[in-house]
A and B are shown apart, each in its own frame.
Chain A
Amino acid sequence: MTTTIRTRKSTKAMLWVSVLLLSLGSCEQYLDVDPQDKVAEEQMYRNVYDADAAVIGIYGKFMGLAKKYVILNEMRADLMTTTNNSDPYLKELSEQNVSAENPYVSPKDFYLVIQNCNDALKNFDIMVAQKKFTQSQYEQRYADVACIRSWIYLQLGIQYGTVPYITEPLANIEDVKNINKFPRLSFNELLDELVTFTEGLTYKKIYDSGSSLLVTVDGYNTEKFFINKECLLGDLQLWKGNYLQAATHYKNVMETGTPRNDVDMYRIKYAEVVTNNDLAVGYLRYYEQDATTLVDNNTQGWRSIFGRDRDVLWNTEWIWSLPFDSDFAPKNPFIEIFSKTGGKYLAKPSKRAIDLWQSNTQSNGFPYDARGQKFTYKMVGGEPVIMKYIYKYEAAANTFKTDGDWFLYRAAKLHLRYAEAANRDNQHKIADALLNFGIQEAYTPAGYNNSTGDATDIKQTKLPFPYDFDARQGDFPSFRAIWHRGGGIRGRARLQRAEIVGDPLISIENNIINEAALELAYEGNRWEDLVRISLRRNDPAFLADKVYEKLSKEGNANAAEIRSKLMNVNNWYLPFTW
Chain B
Amino acid sequence: MTLLKYKKLLFIILTIGLVSCSSPWDDKEDNGDANLNETLNEAISNTPETAEFGKLLAQTGYDKILAASKTYTVFVPTNEAVKAVSTTILNNPEALKKFVENHIALTSYSSVRNNNEERIQMLNAKYLTFKGSTTIGDATIVTADHYAANGVFHVVNKALAPKLNIWEYVTSQAGTSAMSNYLLSLKEFSIYDADAIAKSTAAPGFLADSLSNSFLKNVYNLNNEKNSYTLFLMENDGFDAEVTKMIPYLNKPSADLTAIYSKYFTVRDMVFPKAYTKEALPAKLTSRFGVEFDVDKTQIVGEPIVLSNGIVYIMKKVDVKLEKRLVTTKIEGEKNIAYYGVRSRMLYRDKKGPISLLYPDGLYNDLMVELPALPQFTLFYHANDMFSTKYKIYWRAINDRTANLFEQQLAIGGTVNQTATGFPLVNITKTFPMVIVPLNNYEEVEIGEFTYTTAGSSGLISLIGGTKSTSALTLDYLKFVPVVP
Q: List the interface of chain A (C-beta within 8 A of B).
A: 284, 286-287, 289-292, 361, 365-368
Contacts and interface: CB of A to CB of B under 8 A. Distances in A.
Contact of A289 (B352, B363, B368): B368
B349 interface: yes
B400 interface: yes
B29 interface: no
B350, B351, B352, B400 — which one has the most chain A CB atoms within 10 A of its CB?
Answer: B350
Interface in B330-368: 344, 346-352, 362-363, 365, 368
B370 interface: yes
A296 to B, nearest CB: 13
A365 B353 CA distance: 10
Contacts of A368: 350
Given A289-B370, A290-B349, A292-B348, 10 more contacts: A287-B344, A290-B347, A291-B348, A291-B349, A365-B351, A366-B350, A366-B351, A367-B350, A367-B351, A367-B363
B352 A361 contact: yes
B352 A287 contact: no
20 contacts: A286-B371, A287-B344, A287-B347, A289-B349, A289-B370, A290-B346, A290-B347, A290-B349, A291-B349, A291-B350, A291-B365, A292-B348, A365-B349, A365-B351, A365-B400, A366-B349, A366-B350, A367-B350, A367-B363, A368-B350
A433 to B, nearest CB: 27
A105 B146 CA distance: 45
Nearest to B363: A367
A287 B349 CA distance: 10
Closest 5 CB pairs of A and B: A367-B352, A290-B347, A289-B347, A291-B350, A366-B350
Contacts of B350: 291, 366-368
Nearest to B349: A289
Contacts of A292: 348
B404 to A, nearest CB: 11
B9 to A, nearest CB: 33
Contacts of B371: 286
B354 to A, nearest CB: 12
Contacts of B347: 287, 289-291
A291 to B, nearest CB: 5
Contacts of B349: 289-291, 365-366
Contacts of B352: 361, 365, 367
A365 B350 CA distance: 8
Nearest to A374: B350
B348 A290 contact: yes
A498 B428 CA distance: 51
A392 to B, nearest CB: 27
A16 B400 CA distance: 109
A358 to B, nearest CB: 9
A284, A289, A292 — which one has the most chain B CB atoms within 10 A of its CB?
Answer: A289
Nearest to B344: A287
Contacts of A291: 347-350, 365
Contacts of B368: 289
Nearest to A364: B349
A21 B466 CA distance: 113
Nearest to A368: B350
A495 to B, nearest CB: 14
Contacts of B348: 290-292
Nearest to B370: A289
A361 B362 CA distance: 13
A565 to B, nearest CB: 31
A552 to B, nearest CB: 20
B346, B347, B352 — which one has the most chain A CB atoms within 10 A of its CB?
Answer: B347
B422 to A, nearest CB: 25
A525 B344 CA distance: 40
A361 B348 CA distance: 17
A365 B365 CA distance: 12
B374 to A, nearest CB: 16
A155 B411 CA distance: 66
Nearest to B364: A367
A365 B371 CA distance: 18
A365 B349 CA distance: 9
A181 to B, nearest CB: 47
A290, A291, A365, A368 — which one has the most chain B CB atoms within 10 A of its CB?
Answer: A290
A566 to B, nearest CB: 30
B108 to A, nearest CB: 26
A292 B370 CA distance: 15
Interface string B57-95: 000000000000000000000000000000000000000
Nearest to B365: A291
A574 to B, nearest CB: 31
Contacts of A289: 347, 349, 368, 370
A361 B352 CA distance: 9
A538 to B, nearest CB: 38
A288 to B, nearest CB: 8
A142 to B, nearest CB: 53
A287 to B, nearest CB: 6
Nearest to A361: B352
Contacts of A287: 344, 347
A361 B351 CA distance: 9
A249 B189 CA distance: 78
A367 B346 CA distance: 19
Contacts of A284: 344
A63 B347 CA distance: 45
A291 B367 CA distance: 10
Contacts of A365: 349, 351-352, 400
Nearest to A362: B350
